[in-house]
Amino acid sequence: MKCPYSRQCGGCRWIETSYPETLHKKRKQIMTLFPDQKVDMVLGMEDPFHYRHKIYASFRKRRDGHLTAGLYQEGTHRVIATDECLIQNETANAIIRDFTAIADEMKLTAYHEDTGTGILRHLYLRVSKSEGSVLLVIVIGQKVLPGSKKLLSRLLGMHPEIDSVIINQNRRHTSMVLGDRETVIYGSGYIFDSIGGIRFRISSRSFFQVNPTQTEVLYRTALDLADIHETDTVLDLCCGIGTITLLAAERAVYATGVEVVPQAIRDAKGNASHNGIKNTTFICSDIETYLKEHPVTESVVIADPPRSGLGKVVSHSIGKSSTSRMVYVSCNPVTQKEDIDILKNYGFAVQRIVPVDMFCFTEHVENIILLTRMK
């Protein structure tokens, strides 16, 4: 399928490559990193378009003075105006278009990073796959959003699926989308989505995978590989809002989630409560610090770290523990391999490698590895 923006934007470099070929290329990446291991076929999507349910858009002023919105050109802060993105959720695409048109009619200006002038900086949207509701965050570069009531009234009239609206202030010279101060101006400030029959609350800063269809595949595969029994205890490192922890708790006697982001831990505890899951504990801590104070005693470890990986200290801590098996989920197989090379020194062996296509038409691939400790 042709994308008129792909060569400018760079967000989906492989959009003009056949989807089966992209899966072959991703599997080859993993095989190159792990040449001595068998790598499963990549678990792909039936329909690989419009899969992103977490969307960012930025604003700029066109040469004719009108407001436009789109994506940053890869590696720059130059906004490429996009009316339709083939990998973004279609509801989100429509909301961005209509918001921009209303804001332009109201003469709202785009924020200019160099001068610190202007108002509208970003839109951030989360779309619930299971419920269809939308969380909309309007990021502004000033203290107030002029005409916010009028803008909101018109937008909600066009898009009643918008369930919550937040105004976020970000006046700093930074590449971070969200600032520290935010105000809920409509709704509760969060939405809900479901994975594996468990309902999760998603707020503006919650970590929740961008592709909900493949998230189901990713987590089900990871938990199946973990082979959790009702007598097992589970430690979930980098647990976010408790997705894997709560899914694991349904199979285990007890599950503990560790995460450094306080809001994510609050959401995780709330998710456990409103789903009636009581055999869990959630701890707000840097995982390196946590493992220094609490050596691993759980029978199963599951880890889904950021792109930087677990790191040497954490990998050594897990290696020195008595845990018998580990499932390592990674969005960066390079750092995943570095950590696994350390774990191998403690008797862990790779048993299964299953790549999952979370980010269709990009070079990125999510990778699941099952490790067991050899006697």
Compute φ and ψ for 173, nearest 5 degrees. Answer: -85, 90
Report the candidate in 366, 39, 76 with the shortest Cα–Cα distance to residue 222.
366
**Known catalytic residue at 331:** yes
Helices vs strands, H then E, count in the chain:
10, 16
For 334-365, b/e burial (b = at least 16 CB within 10 A) is: ebbbebbebbeeeebebebbbbbbbbbbbeeb
The DSSP code sequence of 26-85 is HHHHHHHHSTTS--PPPB--SS-SS-B-EEEEEEEE-TTS-EEEEEEPTTS--EEE-S--
Count of residues for the chain? 375
The bridge status of strand 79-81 relative to strand 120-127 is unpaired
Residue at token pair 């976010």: 240
Out of 3, 12, 331, 360, the active site residue is 331
**DSSP structure class, residue 108:** P
Helices (H), the chain: 6-9, 19-33, 90-105, 148-158, 212-226, 243-249, 262-274, 287-293, 312-320, 333-344
Amino acid, res. 179 = G
Distances (CA, A) of 313 to 282, 294, 342: 21, 14, 10
CA angle 316, 321, 326 (to 5 degrees): 85
Residue at token pair 């939308």: 134
Please give the structure tokens belonging to residue 11: 């967000």
**DSSP structure class, residue 345:** T
Residues classed as catalytic = 331
